[in-house]
Amino acid sequence: MSDPILDPVRFVDERTAAAPLLKKSLRYLFPDHWSFLLGEIALYSFIVLIATGVYLALFFEPSVAQTVYHGPYAPLRGREMSDAYKSVVELSLTYKAGLLIRQTHHWAADVFVASIVLHLMRVFFTGAYRKPRELTWLIGLVLLFTSLLEGYLGYSLVDDLLSGIGLAIGYGVLLSVPLVGGPLGVLLFGSAFPGKGVFESRMYIAHVFILPALLALLIGAHLALVMARHHTQFRRDRRHTERRLVGVPMFPGQAPRSLALMFAVAAVLFLLGGLVQINPIWQWGPFEPWLGTNGAQPDWYLGWLIGALRLMPSFDVVVGHITLIPNPFWGGVAFPLVVLLVLGAFPWIERRLTGDRSVHNLLERPREAPNRTAFGVAFLSWIFLVFVFGAADRLYVLYGVSYETLLTIFRVAIWVVPVALFVLVRLLCRELAHAERVEHEREVAEEEAASQETAMAERGEPVI
């Protein structure tokens, strides 16, 4: 008798002996909490990025050779521009569904990085990075920083005015790297910026192949490590312990939910791509190194770097007449490096400070680790304030506070606010935890009292 499920399974197992593994994966357990979906949102955004990106690559021309636009968009007609820019303008305005796919790709990139950052915060504030998951945490961090570079290269490829300005700044930051910056800039661009056009094709292969392959590899390693040690879980009731995992199996319970999330993420991204305009490059015009524009803002995930570049006081490290460390190094390289190193070393720093070397499968709620939570909030607020200052010129337009005043305020605030928040959050966490303990003690006492009363009543003693 034929069985539509058993037959193919048997076919596969007879040829691969994979049935035990397959069965084990189908019954892999997922503990349940809404915040565990943030990483999945990043994964599904990545899938949308790959799908839309492959389509875009069929139309994009990675060349800065000059050409003249003769398409339907009147304001640019007759303008000299690069093949790259022209191909994106044409994709956006002349090819059916081209704009939809391009905008969805752009939105997916923004959501991808956003969900990674939120996922990182979830993992940090619940202590999920602790032993035995430090490697998963490190790979996640590398993933985040690779995504930033990938996104930056993606919108730099277009060669519109905004992306050209971004690339010029990237070149300035690259040049500022001590010792190797200048030669490295010449090596990569083939000459001084903007170079002779070799950088465009190099950027292209990095954006469509090298970095996506690296990202896919890192995502694979990240997930493999998660599965090797299984998910962490919250202690919802007595069944959840450090040794025992409670969860819904991949199949049948988790699969439809996760697939539903995938389709929902794709739906939201395509809805954004269809309805909410993002980076209308035909309005920016082609890049020329002598052009600049006020109010230019990068994609959100680079805001913290532009903020750091703007906040830095004016100085180059100079000895005699020789520059050693140019200014952009501090905001563009040192600042993100400090963030990466602090986050990367945090599991080990915490272990040193707390002396806790044991394996943890149970998550902590933020209030249960006041020092970690307070530090996390302070550190985040530091980055967040720098990020906000990246849009200080917009704040000036919105609120009328002069840029100079904002600069002074933020230069103080980025140091004062984190310290204040550290003290405040630690206090808050301790109070919350304390209140919970008191509540718990009262409940226990009341239960005891009640049982005593019934016992006394049963023995016929008078109840006091």
Using CB under 8 A, which residues numbered 95 to 124 contact another protein? 95-97, 99-100, 103-104
Strand partners, 29: 249
- Measured between alpha carbons, how far is 405 from 416 in angstroms, rounded to an integer? 16
Q: Counting contacts by CB under 8 A, is residue 78 touching another protein?
A: no
Provide, rounded to whole angstroms, the least separation between the CB of residue 177 and another protein: 8
Do 189 and 115 contact (CB within 8 A), yes or no?
Answer: no
| Nearer to another protein (CB atom), residue 8 or residue 256 | 256
Segment 157 to 216, residues that bind another protein, using CB under 8 A:
165, 168-169, 171-173, 175-183, 185-194, 198, 202
Of 91, 439, 73, 99, nearest to 285 by C-alpha is 73
Segment 122 to 141, residues that bind another protein, using CB under 8 A:
132
Provide, rounded to whole angstroms, the least separation between the CB of residue 212 and another protein: 20
Residue from 149, 218, 312, 417 touching another protein (CB under 8 A): that is 312
| Nearer to another protein (CB atom), residue 87 or residue 104 | 104
Residue from 70, 75, 316, 416 touching another protein (CB under 8 A): that is 316
Provide, rounded to whole angstroms, the least separation between the CB of residue 269 and another protein: 8
Segment 141 to 160, residues that bind another protein, using CB under 8 A:
none
Dihedrals phi, psi of 126, to nearest 5 degrees: -105, 0
66-68/322-325 β-pairing = unpaired
| Nearer to another protein (CB atom), residue 116 or residue 325 | 325
Segment 378 to 437, residues that bind another protein, using CB under 8 A:
393, 403-404
| Nearer to another protein (CB atom), residue 21 or residue 192 | 192
Provide, rounded to whole angstroms, the least separation between the CB of residue 79 and another protein: 13
Number of residues written out for the chain: 464
| Nearer to another protein (CB atom), residue 249 or residue 344 | 249
- Measured between alpha carbons, how far is 393 from 304 in angstroms, rounded to an integer? 14
Of 142, 154, 153, 155, nearest to 116 by C-alpha is 142
Provide, rounded to whole angstroms, the least separation between the CB of residue 429 and another protein: 27
Total number of residues binding another protein (CB under 8 A)?
Answer: 106
Provide, rounded to whole angstroms, the least separation between the CB of residue 271 and another protein: 4
| Nearer to another protein (CB atom), residue 2 or residue 314 | 314
Residue from 3, 4, 15, 321 touching another protein (CB under 8 A): that is 321
| Nearer to another protein (CB atom), residue 248 or residue 432 | 248
| Nearer to another protein (CB atom), residue 102 or residue 426 | 102
Site map for another protein, 267-306, x if CB under 8 A? xx-xxxxxx------------xxxxxxxxx---------x
Provide, rounded to whole angstroms, the least separation between the CB of residue 314 and another protein: 5
Do 145 and 336 contact (CB within 8 A), yes or no?
Answer: yes
Written as one letter, the residue type at 7 is: D
Site map for another protein, 16-55, x if CB under 8 A? -----------x-x--x-----------------------
| Nearer to another protein (CB atom), residue 36 or residue 422 | 36
Of 205, 196, 179, 174, nearest to 60 by C-alpha is 205
Residue from 313, 355, 460, 462 touching another protein (CB under 8 A): that is 313
Of 192, 159, 143, nearest to 45 by C-alpha is 143
66-68/29-30 β-pairing = unpaired
Chain position carrying tokens 């193919």: 8
Chain position carrying tokens 């950027």: 203
| 70 burial type by CB count under 10 A (0-12 exposed, 13-18 middle, 19+ buried) | exposed
Residues with Cβ within 8 Å of residue 242, at least 6 apart in sequence: 359, 360, 361, 362
- Measured between alpha carbons, how far is 419 from 192 in angstroms, rounded to an integer? 43
Classify residue 177 by its DSSP letter. S
Structure tokens of 126? 């619940």
Do 231 and 360 contact (CB within 8 A), yes or no?
Answer: no
Q: Counting contacts by CB under 8 A, is residue 324 touching another protein?
A: yes
Segment 330 to 389, residues that bind another protein, using CB under 8 A:
331-332, 361
Segment 216 to 255, residues that bind another protein, using CB under 8 A:
228-230, 239, 242-249, 252-253, 255
Chain position carrying tokens 């392959």: 213
| Nearer to another protein (CB atom), residue 175 or residue 383 | 175
Provide, rounded to whole angstroms, the least separation between the CB of residue 183 and another protein: 5
Helical segments of 82-210, H only: 83-93, 98-125, 134-156, 161-175, 181-189, 198-205
Helix (H) / strand (E) element for 379: namely: helix 370-389
| Nearer to another protein (CB atom), residue 144 or residue 173 | 173
| Nearer to another protein (CB atom), residue 140 or residue 328 | 328
